[in-house]
Structure 1
Amino acid sequence: MNKKHFCLGISILFSVFAFAQSPKKVLFTVDENPYYTDEFVRVYNKNLDLVKDESQKDLDYYLELFVGYKLKINKANKLGLQNNSKYQNELKSYRTQLSKNYLTDSKVTKELLEEGYARSLKEIRASHILLTLDENAKPEDTLAVYKQILELKKRADSGEEFAALAQQYSQDPSAKENQGDLGYFSAFRMVYSFESAAYQTKVGAISKPVRTRFGYHLIKVTDVRDNRGDVTVAHIMLMNPTEENPEAAEKNKTTINEIYAKIQQGEEFEALAKQFSQDKSSSGKGGVLNRFGSGQLSSEEFETVAFSLQKPNEISKPFQTQFGWHIMKLIEKHPVKTFEEAKADMESKISRDERSRKITESLNEKLRAKYPVKRNEALYAKIKKAVTEKYYESAWELPTDTKTFESEFITFSKAKINGTQFLNYLLSQQKNSNQPKPIAALVDFHYSNFLDAQLNQFYNENLENEFPEFAAVMEEYRDGLLLFDLMEKEIWEKSKTDTLGLEAFHKANSGKYLWKKRYDVVVISSTKADIAKKAHKLMKQGKKADEIKAALNTDGVINIMATSGVFEEGNEALPKTIAFQKGLSEVTKEGNYYYVVQTNEIKEAGPKLLEECKGRVINDYQQYLEENWVANLKQEFKVAINKEVFEEVKSQIKK
Structure 2
Amino acid sequence: MKLKNFLIILFLASFFSLKAQKNTDVLMTIGGNPVTVGEFKYIYEKNNGDKADYSEASINEYLDLYKKFKLKVAKAKDMKLDTIQALNDELAGYRTQLANSYLMDKEVMNNLYKELYDRMDHDIDVSHIVVTLPKNPNDSQRKAAEDKINEVYAKLKSGERFEKLAAEYSDDKLSASTGGRIGFFTAMMPNGFYEFENAMYSLPAGQYSEPFTSKLGYHIIKVNGIRPAKGRVEVAQILIRKEATDKTGDEAKTKINEVYTMLNNGADFDEMVAQFSDDKQTKTKGGVLPEFGINQYSKEFEEEAFGLKNVGDYTKPFETNVGWHILKKVKDVKKDNFDIFKRKIEPKLKKDERYEIAQNELIEGIKKDAHYTLNTMVLNEFIDSLDADFYTFKWKPSEAPYMQKPLINFDGGYTKSLSDFAEFCKKNTRIRLKYEDNVPTTEVVNELLNQFSKEEALNYEQQNLEAKYPDFKSLMREYEEGILLFEATKMEVWDKANQDTLGLYQYYENNKNNYTWNKRAKVSKYILHGTDQEKGEEVVKYAEKSDPESVVKEFGKDFIEVIPVEYDLNSNELYGVVKEKDAVSNLKVDKPSGLMMFKKIEEILPSRRKTLEESRGYVIADYQSYLEDKWVRQLKNDFNVEVNDKVLKQLIKK
TM-score interval, smaller chain: 0.5 to 0.7
Q: How big is the shift at 1:347?
A: 8.1
Asked if 1:68 corresponds to 2:72, the answer is yes
Q: Distance in 2 between matches of 1:194 and 1:136?
A: 20
Residue 183 of structure 2 is matched in structure 1 by 183
Q: How big is the shift at 1:304?
A: 0.5
Q: Distance in 1 between matches of 2:294 and 2:124?
A: 10
**Aligned partner of 2:331: which letter?**
E
Q: Distance in 2 between matches of 1:52 and 1:480?
A: 22
Asked if 1:407 corresponds to 2:404, the answer is yes
Which structure 2 residues correspond to residues 208-223 of structure 1 after superposition, within 5 A?
Answer: 208-223=210-225
How many residues end up aligned between the 2 structures? 525
Q: How big is the shift at 1:223?
A: 4.2
Residue 309 of structure 1 is matched in structure 2 by 308
Residue 38 of structure 1 is matched in structure 2 by 34
8 Å contact from structure 2 (residues 26, 644) kept in 1:
no
Where 1:123 maps in the other structure, the secondary structure is strand
Q: Distance in 2 between matches of 1:90 and 1:485?
A: 17
Q: Distance in 2 between matches of 1:494 and 1:273?
A: 72
**Aligned partner of 2:34: which letter?**
D
**Aligned partner of 1:82: which letter?**
L
Where 2:197 maps in the other structure, the secondary structure is helix
Residue 195 of structure 1 is matched in structure 2 by 197
Q: Distance in 2 between matches of 1:440 and 1:42?
A: 51
**CA deviation vs aligned residue, 1:582-635 (integer Å, no higher than 9, x gap):** xxxxxxxxxxxxxxxxxxxxx9x987869999997675343124346779x98x
Residue 320 of structure 1 is matched in structure 2 by 319
**CA deviation vs aligned residue, 1:322-379 (integer Å, no higher than 9, x gap):** 3343321101234667889867778887766555466444433342234344544344
**CA deviation vs aligned residue, 1:404-453 (integer Å, no higher than 9, x gap):** 484335242233232413523764435779x9986545543542343132
User: What root-mean-square deviation, in Å, do the aligned CA atoms of Structure 1 and Structure 2 show?
Assistant: 5.8
**Aligned partner of 1:183: which letter?**
G
Where 2:34 maps in the other structure, the secondary structure is helix
**Aligned partner of 2:75: which letter?**
L
Asked if 1:288 corresponds to 2:285, the answer is no
Where 2:290 maps in the other structure, the secondary structure is coil
Alpha-carbon distance change, 234 to 383 in structure 1, aligned in 2, over 3 angstroms: farther
8 Å contact from structure 1 (residues 229, 334) kept in 2:
yes
Q: Distance in 2 between matches of 1:622 and 1:240?
A: 79
**CA deviation vs aligned residue, 1:556-607 (integer Å, no higher than 9, x gap):** xxxxxxxxx969xxxxxxxxxxxxxxxxxxxxxxxxxxxxxxxxxxx9x987
Alpha-carbon distance change, 315 to 390 in structure 1, aligned in 2, over 3 angstroms: farther
Where 2:289 maps in the other structure, the secondary structure is coil
8 Å contact from structure 1 (residues 236, 326) kept in 2:
yes
Residue 126 of structure 2 is matched in structure 1 by 126
Which structure 2 residues correspond to residues 239-388 of structure 1 after superposition, within 5 A?
Answer: 245-246=245-246, 252-253=252-253, 256-257=256-257, 259-260=259-260, 263-264=263-264, 266-273=266-273, 277=277, 279=279, 281-295=281-295, 297-334=296-333, 353=352, 355-356=354-355, 359-385=358-384
Q: Distance in 1 between matches of 2:194 and 2:92?
A: 39
Where 1:287 maps in the other structure, the secondary structure is coil
Where 2:286 maps in the other structure, the secondary structure is coil
TM-score (ref. length: structure 1) = 0.60
Which structure 2 residues correspond to residues 437-516 of structure 1 after superposition, within 5 A?
Answer: 440-441=442-443, 443-464=445-466, 470-481=472-483, 483-484=485-486, 508-512=510-514
Alpha-carbon distance change, 446 to 178 in structure 1, aligned in 2, over 3 angstroms: farther
The answer for unaligned runs of 5 or more in structure 1 is: 1-16, 29-35, 518-564, 568-602
8 Å contact from structure 2 (residues 126, 184) kept in 1:
yes
8 Å contact from structure 2 (residues 104, 359) kept in 1:
no
Q: Distance in 2 between matches of 1:163 and 1:322?
A: 31
Structure 1 residues 340-349 or 266-275, which shifts more?
340-349
Q: Distance in 2 between matches of 1:206 and 1:240?
A: 42
Q: How big is the shift at 1:306?
A: 0.5
Residue 82 of structure 1 is matched in structure 2 by 87
Alpha-carbon distance change, 332 to 654 in structure 1, aligned in 2, over 3 angstroms: closer
8 Å contact from structure 1 (residues 380, 409) kept in 2:
no
Q: Distance in 1 between matches of 2:145 and 2:432?
A: 28
Q: Distance in 2 between matches of 1:389 and 1:55?
A: 71
Q: Distance in 2 between matches of 1:99 and 1:492?
A: 37
8 Å contact from structure 1 (residues 95, 474) kept in 2:
no
Q: Distance in 1 between matches of 2:452 and 2:376?
A: 16
Q: Distance in 1 between matches of 2:80 and 2:251?
A: 82
**CA deviation vs aligned residue, 1:44-92 (integer Å, no higher than 9, x gap):** 899797776979978xx9877643344357587699873898x987665
Which structure 2 residues correspond to residues 565-580 of structure 1 after superposition, within 5 A?
Answer: none
8 Å contact from structure 2 (residues 128, 166) kept in 1:
no
Where 2:625 maps in the other structure, the secondary structure is helix
Identity across the alignment (%): 27
Q: Distance in 2 between matches of 1:292 and 1:114?
A: 22
Alpha-carbon distance change, 466 to 128 in structure 1, aligned in 2, over 3 angstroms: closer
Where 2:187 maps in the other structure, the secondary structure is coil
Which structure 2 residues correspond to residues 572-611 of structure 1 after superposition, within 5 A?
Answer: none
TM-score (ref. length: structure 2) = 0.60
8 Å contact from structure 1 (residues 116, 346) kept in 2:
no
8 Å contact from structure 1 (residues 436, 445) kept in 2:
no
